[in-house]
Structure 1
């Protein structure tokens, strides 16, 4: 699914209107989608307090308030004091709602928190076109709303949030529990500094012009289920273990053997035909007893001091690797000789960062850094937007794929495209989850998925396994090894 910029969304709205639907009809369609979602999904809500701005987002709010009132929900509408210079469509809906004597109108200054779980605050102050910080009475009321314990819902985008960039430090933004957004995710929903204001995001299709959407140019995408199904290839019946590649997971050192063990198990669960673990001898008993399906290759005593090259194999290097001098040299020698794509994670990335030898990474390889590892590799950045811009630059410079791990992990391609992942949860924020991802992506590349497809599918699969694990065990109690077991359930979902 494409992510369009705020100017592109505005143009898409205008194109849709030119095809025959009026702007007020489009607004009514958006309001109906919101009201229907609220009625169908928040059945305990008996009262809404709707805060409306003067633009079209306020018009959406007036229409939603009217439709909810018609569904026998008590409605209070709050507007700013002063001249009511509404946009044309907002003015039309304002006049409509004024005809309903049962709807209470108040100014922002008269708001009193209800603090009742059956009462809902709806933010319809500003939409995606906002280009300045909230100030004055609007800022004051949003600060007051944020301090209320009532459930909070934003229409299209939380007020105070920009669609395509960071908010300023200490700026006021409506803190939603739920955001009902129209047709497209916004980039700001995908980044930790700004996405935290959105709560749960629900995407509502309001029938914007599909031809415009198809033709629109963008570098930013959401890896939705439709995209994943287009990538996923079910296994052919007439095949053998050689059909599904040869994965070699390289890592482990004394006291850190669990990392490469999880990578190996994940590679097997993801469908690798032949799987090897290249690890020091101290891990032989652990690996052979815990994962008998994988073959063991001895690469040292207590840490890896040699890395042999096997033909027609895909390597995933780094989990539990350690940074011993001999391990570093073994990695350098391997990367100088091996020219096929590899997957690099954890200590493999830290070794390259400390040695300033990022140029050794073969083209079309995959690196999977978390924010700190990325900073060590390519330099510190002020925020995740800046980090993503730098990742695009470095992916192009080195001709590699960068999997920027975060709440919404981003796959960055050498061509500058970005694919945000929307599966996964905070229960995965535990040591070992990244090792599982390394095994998954390595396995997919060994099965002849192109690196880009392997990254997008692998990150989605990893996150979906995390969601299923959280559902069964809870975010607090789930373990990285639970992700490995849930991979099977994800493939069952895909195969239906």
Structure 2
């Protein structure tokens, strides 16, 4: 799914109005109907609605939603800052339609503190949408501050009021904290960053049939990884294949006390389809690895740490899980990278070793994949003000070094050397545990070994990791789920993928 800027979204509306063709007020009706239907279907125990509407088109959506929900049997009240003030053309049309319904009361913002918000009341935010051009101030700021004190369920139409979609606001800005955001047609970039995503609650993308021609022809560098993209990338297993078809994956990692990281990465590579899997690790991990991962072959690389980085031809390598940063390990890794030119996966301590010297980054082979979390990224490339700035720096570095960066976060981002960004929307907070990154390293190494391009391995890999984590959370909870349990769910994800791609008779 493409992600567009606020300007591109406005142009998308205008293109749809011109070329469908459809009157703008009817397009508003279409969008509002989608919102009203979703609320009606998902609000069985809440039949009282209070809407806060602005003067622009987001407010027009709110007026139309108020009318539609009233006709569906909801008890509806509406607040505006001045019922006699100036509205946008389409907002005014819907305001007049609402005014003709005697059962809906329209009140001023200054009456809100006298309003009774019982625990069955849903608050709907239709103040600004994507049209906000500056931080909230005055009565709007005071209103949002007041609404944020209420424990009622809050639903924002399109965008939580106070939030920009193309940038991060100052930490002191006032933004409505929604439980749900019903957004039109596509994700907005700010929703996918932690500083802004905390305000959106659960994001629901409503398809309002904006022009597909515009969507297909309009260029962007930003995308959400969705099911359609995954289905286009995934390669089902050929019935006439053999183990040589799916490559040799090698995990280099582990040190005394950190063999578990190598186990997780190895098992992950095995469970995601590598034809042959090897683990290069210190001798102290031999029994553990051979017992826990009998399908993988063990190659000794030292006593308690990895010192020797020796591989055969046609092996795809993932380095880092539990590796440690011992002086001899660091020396061996950097020496290996100076003489190795094929794409590989670098994570965890491999990145920490590289970050010790600015020049080490130039040793990373072109088309390789690195998988830093925010702190590892900071060590490698420097500190940034916020996650938007961090992403832009990652785009610069991916282009400069000609590598793929998997920037781990709640919504992990895949950044390509061409400056494309793919946001992943699978996964959950249960992955915020030691070992989760090791699992991802195993996935990426395995997919590379199987012949996926680096770009496709990253996109499919982060999606698969998150999807398995979502299944794991359903069974064990985010609090109790373990990285090994995520690995156990890979099979169910692949079963579902194969079913979707199998043509039924």
TM-score computed with the length of structure 2 as normaliser = 0.97
Confirm or deny: 8 A CA contact 1:309 1:334 kept in the other structure.
no
Confirm or deny: 8 A CA contact 2:83 2:108 kept in the other structure.
no
Partner of 1:97: 98
Output one character per residue of 1:149-194: Cα deviation in whole Å (capped at 9) or x when no partner: 0000000000000011111220000100000000010000110001
Output one character per residue of 1:262-295: Cα deviation in whole Å (capped at 9) or x when no partner: 0000000100100000000000010001110000
Structural RMSD (CA): 0.9
Q: Distance in 2 between matches of 1:171 and 1:473?
A: 37
Partner of 1:242: 244
Output one character per residue of 1:413-472: Cα deviation in whole Å (capped at 9) or x when no partner: 000000000000011100000000000010000000000000000000000011000000
SS in structure 1 of the partner of residue 343 of structure 2: coil
Confirm or deny: 8 A CA contact 1:338 1:362 kept in the other structure.
yes
Partner of 2:478: 475
Q: Distance in 2 between matches of 1:115 and 1:257?
A: 55
Partner of 1:273: 275
Partner of 1:495: 498
Give the C-alpha shift of residue 115 in structure 1: 4.9
Partner of 2:299: 297
Q: Distance in 1 between matches of 2:17 and 2:185?
A: 15
SS in structure 1 of the partner of residue 318 of structure 2: strand
Q: Which of residues 216, 219, 231 is equivalent to 2:218?
A: 216
Partner of 1:403: 406
Give the C-alpha shift of residue 83 in structure 1: 4.9
Partner of 2:468: 465
SS in structure 2 of the partner of residue 283 of structure 1: helix
Give the C-alpha shift of residue 309 in structure 1: 2.2
Output one character per residue of 1:106-134: Cα deviation in whole Å (capped at 9) or x when no partner: 11121146554421000000011211011
Partner of 2:6: 6
Partner of 1:15: 15
Confirm or deny: 8 A CA contact 1:114 1:150 kept in the other structure.
no
Confirm or deny: 8 A CA contact 1:57 1:126 kept in the other structure.
yes
Give the C-alpha shift of residue 329 in structure 1: 1.0
Q: Distance in 2 between matches of 1:219 and 1:369?
A: 21
Ranges in structure 1 where 5+ consecutive residues have no aligned partner: none
Q: Distance in 2 between matches of 1:83 and 1:405?
A: 49
Partner of 2:48: 47
Output one character per residue of 1:237-267: Cα deviation in whole Å (capped at 9) or x when no partner: 0000000110000000000000010000000
Q: Which of residues 335, 344, 351 is equivalent to 2:337?
A: 335
Give the C-alpha shift of residue 82 in structure 1: 7.2
After the TM superposition, which segments of 4 or more aligned residues of structure 1 sit over 2 Å from their partners?
A: 112-118
Distance 1:403 1:114, change over 3 A: farther
Confirm or deny: 8 A CA contact 1:309 1:338 kept in the other structure.
no
Partner of 2:503: none
SS in structure 2 of the partner of residue 354 of structure 1: coil
81-90 vs 311-320, greater mean Cα deviation: 81-90
SS in structure 2 of the partner of residue 128 of structure 1: helix
Q: Distance in 2 between matches of 1:380 and 1:96?
A: 52
Confirm or deny: 8 A CA contact 2:248 2:276 kept in the other structure.
yes
Q: Distance in 2 between matches of 1:247 and 1:447?
A: 8
Q: Which of residues 315, 318, 328 is equivalent to 1:313?
A: 315
Distance 1:178 1:114, change over 3 A: farther
Q: Distance in 2 between matches of 1:396 and 1:116?
A: 54
Confirm or deny: 8 A CA contact 2:282 2:303 kept in the other structure.
yes
Output one character per residue of 1:7-55: Cα deviation in whole Å (capped at 9) or x when no partner: 0000010000002100000000000000000111221121001000000
Partner of 2:188: 186
Distance 1:462 1:114, change over 3 A: farther
Partner of 1:144: 146
SS in structure 2 of the partner of residue 385 of structure 1: helix
Output one character per residue of 1:67-98: Cα deviation in whole Å (capped at 9) or x when no partner: 00001100010000375110000000000000
Partner of 2:284: 282
Give the C-alpha shift of residue 319 in structure 1: 0.5
Give the C-alpha shift of residue 370 in structure 1: 0.2
Partner of 1:35: 36
1:74-473 aligned at under 5 Å gives the runs 74-81=75-82, 83-112=84-113, 114-356=116-358, 357-473=360-476
Confirm or deny: 8 A CA contact 2:148 2:176 kept in the other structure.
yes
TM-score computed with the length of structure 1 as normaliser = 0.99
Distance 1:114 1:455, change over 3 A: farther
Count residues in correspondence. 496
Give the C-alpha shift of residue 492 in structure 1: 1.0
SS in structure 1 of the partner of residue 76 of structure 2: strand
Confirm or deny: 8 A CA contact 2:255 2:323 kept in the other structure.
yes
Partner of 1:68: 69
Ranges in structure 2 where 5+ consecutive residues have no aligned partner: 500-505
